[in-house]
Amino acid sequence: MLNNYQRSADKLAAHLRTAGIQDEAVLQSIAEIPRHVFVDDILKHKSYENTALPIGQGQTISQPYIVAKMTEVLKQLGVTGNVLEVGTGSGYQTAVLAKLFDNVFSIERIKSLQWQAKRRLHQLDLYNVSMKHGDGWQGWQSKAPFDGIIVTAAASVVPEALLGQLADGGAMVIPLGVEEQILTLFINHQGKITQQALAPVRFVPLVAGPIT
Is 142 a known active-site residue?
Answer: no
CB atoms within 10 A of CB 195: 12
| Selected catalytic residue, list 8, 29, 47, 62 | 62
Query: Whole-angstrom Cα distance, residue 35 to residue 25?
Result: 17
H or E element at residue 105:
strand 103-108
Q: Please give the backbone phi and psi of residue 137, each rounded to the nearest 5 degrees, phi first.
A: -60, -30
User: Coil, helix or strand for 167?
Assistant: strand
Cite the DSSP H helix spans in 33-184.
64-76, 92-100, 111-123, 160-163
H or E element at residue 170:
strand 166-176
Which residues, other chains included, contact 78 with Cβ-Cβ below 8 Å and sequence gap of 6+? none
> What residues act catalytically?
62
